[in-house]
């Protein structure tokens, strides 16, 4: 019987959030097609990281273990993943859309005479495997102006990578599963690159992706001198400060605080958009947030189309009142 196989990634011995999102996408696909789901992660089966797998129960968790996989190389990962795919024979292979996956996944797909459908933001039109309805994968084109729909033709597994924030990782639930070591056959001669030190962002770089609450400010703030209004709200909420592109282009906040198609993609528990219109280039970076709250004086601002809670009004009145209310509640 065919299946869905999801490859997870770990960083600093923790499974990354985008991996849980890829797993949620894999579950959506598996449930829609009535297929079993398996997941795989590089590492020894004895590694405690495997105890942290907490999603809806997959059929099997494969621990892909080999000393040549201790450091990432495209050659090593491609060869090892290809061997597992040949062993499991899945119909669908799902990966998180990370720099690493971008590096090796197209090559992995090519090994099976397939292409990688990258940056998937949605899965539609699913039926059972016997039905004529097949899954359609949605990805954005032209800076989010167009949604393109893709489906697989031909035989072989269908490879897709899932964009950060597009699927909600917390849709997973706890359950029992089987942990199985998978020992690929790898020769050092087939690894043609020498891994260097992993890239470390400079200490100043803000990882908005790991923030639980983001207060994000847009051009409605009018001038840099007004930023303390939102900074105080962020401080009161224990939130990170983020921004739309014009704020960063103006140099009012550093570029690493920009959210959107040319900034960071985020999916915090709460995203508070203050004076942001909701241009598509901004929305693609934050619409996966669990709860979106928007403050805007224009009731027709597109941000309200994705907002769970909307406040129509002047941010210069609302934000200080909100800050005072949060401070009072915490006192
Ligand atoms: C190739 C490309 C890439 C891009 N990448 C990004 C990106 O990564 N991220 C990004 O954000 N943008 C990006 N943009 C820009 C994007 O198209 C928008 O121009 C930008 O997001 C608008 O920012 P904004 O919402 O802050 O400003 P505006 O669109 O000017 O909106 C300001 C909002 O504030 C509201 N407002 C004004 N005064 C008040 C007040 N007193 N109280 C309450 N509300 C008020 C207004 O009603 C308005 O809705 C990109 C554009 C291009 C072409």
Helix (H) or strand (E) run with residue 107 in it: helix 99-111
Query: Does the Cβ of 72 fall within 6 Å of ligand 1?
Result: no
Query: Does the Cβ of 73 fall within 6 Å of ligand 1?
Result: no
Which of the four pLDDT bands, split at 50, 70 and 90, describes residue 173?
low
**Alpha helix locations (H) across 167-276?**
227-237, 245-249
Question: If you ran DSSP here, which 8-state letter would residue 259 be given?
Answer: B
On the CB side of 86, how many CA atoms lie within 13 Å of its CA?
A: 11
Q: Is the pLDDT of residue 21 over 60?
A: yes
Average of per-residue pLDDT across 26-34: 90
Token pair 């020894």 is found at 44
Which of the four pLDDT bands, split at 50, 70 and 90, describes residue 261?
confident
Residue whose CA is at the smallest distance from ligand 1 atom 48: 277
Distance between CA atoms of 176 and 164, rounded to whole angstroms? Answer: 26
Average of per-residue pLDDT across 231-241: 96
Query: Does the Cβ of 245 fall within 6 Å of ligand 1?
Result: yes
Pairwise pLDDT comparison (311 vs 177), residue with the higher score? 311
- Per-residue pLDDT, 200: 58
What percent of the chain stands above pLDDT 70?
A: 91
Cα of 201 from ligand 1 centre, angstroms: 27
Q: Is the pLDDT of residue 50 over 90?
A: no
Cβ-based neighbours of 92, under 8 Å, separated by 6 or more: 3, 4, 5, 26, 29, 33, 35, 135, 157, 158, 160
Query: Does the Cβ of 310 fall within 6 Å of ligand 1?
Result: no
Distance between CA atoms of 21 and 169, rounded to whole angstroms? Answer: 4
Pairwise pLDDT comparison (203 vs 55), residue with the higher score? 55
Closest among 314, 244, 300 to 276, alpha carbons compared:
244
Which of the four pLDDT bands, split at 50, 70 and 90, describes residue 262?
confident
Q: Is the pLDDT of residue 171 over 70?
A: no
Which of the four pLDDT bands, split at 50, 70 and 90, describes residue 316?
very high
- Per-residue pLDDT, 105: 98
Closest among 106, 126, 107, 104 to 118, alpha carbons compared:
106
Q: Is the pLDDT of residue 30 over 60?
A: yes
Cα of 328 from ligand 1 centre, angstroms: 31
Average of per-residue pLDDT across 111-135: 80
Instruction: Kindly report the pTM of this predicted structure.
Output: 0.68
- Per-residue pLDDT, 196: 83
Cα of 210 from ligand 1 centre, angstroms: 23
Which pair of structure tokens corresponds to residue 5?
A: 């196989």
- Per-residue pLDDT, 146: 74
Which of the four pLDDT bands, split at 50, 70 and 90, describes residue 176?
confident
Let me know if 89 is exposed, middle or buried by CB neighbors in 10 A (0-12, 13-18, 19+).
Answer: exposed
Query: Does the Cβ of 144 fall within 6 Å of ligand 1?
Result: no
Q: Is the pLDDT of residue 1 over 70?
A: no
Query: Does the Cβ of 208 fall within 6 Å of ligand 1?
Result: no
In 10 A of CB 218, how many CB atoms?
Answer: 27
What percent of the chain stands above pLDDT 90?
A: 63
Question: If you ran DSSP here, which 8-state letter would residue 113 be given?
Answer: T
Question: If you ran DSSP here, which 8-state letter would residue 140 be given?
Answer: E
Instruction: List 258's β-bridge partners, or say none.
Output: 243
26-32 CB contacts, 8 Å cutoff, 24+ apart: 26/92, 26/94, 27/55, 27/56, 27/171, 27/172, 28/123, 28/167, 29/4, 29/92, 29/94, 29/123, 29/126, 29/135, 30/3, 30/4, 32/123, 32/126, 32/127, 32/135
Query: Does the Cβ of 55 fall within 6 Å of ligand 1?
Result: no
**pLDDT of 245-260, one tens digit each?**
999 999 999 999 999 8
Residue whose CA is at the smallest distance from ligand 1 atom 31: 277
Which pair of structure tokens corresponds to residue 322?
A: 């909100």
Which of the four pLDDT bands, split at 50, 70 and 90, describes residue 128?
low
Q: Is the pLDDT of residue 71 over 60?
A: yes
Instruction: List 240's β-bridge partners, or say none.
Output: 214
């Amino acid at each position: 019987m065919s299946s869905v196989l999801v490859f997870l990634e770990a960083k600093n011995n923790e499974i990354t959030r985008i991996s849980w999102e890829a797993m949620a996408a894999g579950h959506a696909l598996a449930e829609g097609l009535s297929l079993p789901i398996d997941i795989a992660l590089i590492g020894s089966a004895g590694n405690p990281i495997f105890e942290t797998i907490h999603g809806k129960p997959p059929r099997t968790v494969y621990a892909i273990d080999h000393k040549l996989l201790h450091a990432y190389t495209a050659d090593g990962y491609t060869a090892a993943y290809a061997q597992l795919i040949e062993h499991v024979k899945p119909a669908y292979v799902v990966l998180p859309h990370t720099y690493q996956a971008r590096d090796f996944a197209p090559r992995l797909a090519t090994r099976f005479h397939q292409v990688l459908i990258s940056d998937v933001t949605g899965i539609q039109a699913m039926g059972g495997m016997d039905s004529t309805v097949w899954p359609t994968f949605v990805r954005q084109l032209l800076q989010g102006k167009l949604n393109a729909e893709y489906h697989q033709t031909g035989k072989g597994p269908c490879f897709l990578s899932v964009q950060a924030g597009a699927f909600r990782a917390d849709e997973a639930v706890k359950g029992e599963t089987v942990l199985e070591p998978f020992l690929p056959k790898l020769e050092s001669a087939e690894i043609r690159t020498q891994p260097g030190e992993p890239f470390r962002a400079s200490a100043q770089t803000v990882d908005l992706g790991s923030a639980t609450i983001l207060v994000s400010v847009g051009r409605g703030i009018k001038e840099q001198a007004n930023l303390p209004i939102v900074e105080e709200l962020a401080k009161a909420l224990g939130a990170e400060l983020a921004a739309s592109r014009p704020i960063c282009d103006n140099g009012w906040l550093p570029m690493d605080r920009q959210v959107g198609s040319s900034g960071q993609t985020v999916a915090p528990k709460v995203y508070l958009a203050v004076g942001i219109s909701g241009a598509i280039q901004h929305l693609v970076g934050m619409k996966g947030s669990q709860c979106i709250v928007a403050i805007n004086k224009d009731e027709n601002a597109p941000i309200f189309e994705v907002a769970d809670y909307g406040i129509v009004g002047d941010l210069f009145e609302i934000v200080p009142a909100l800050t005072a209310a949060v401070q009072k509640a915490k006192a």
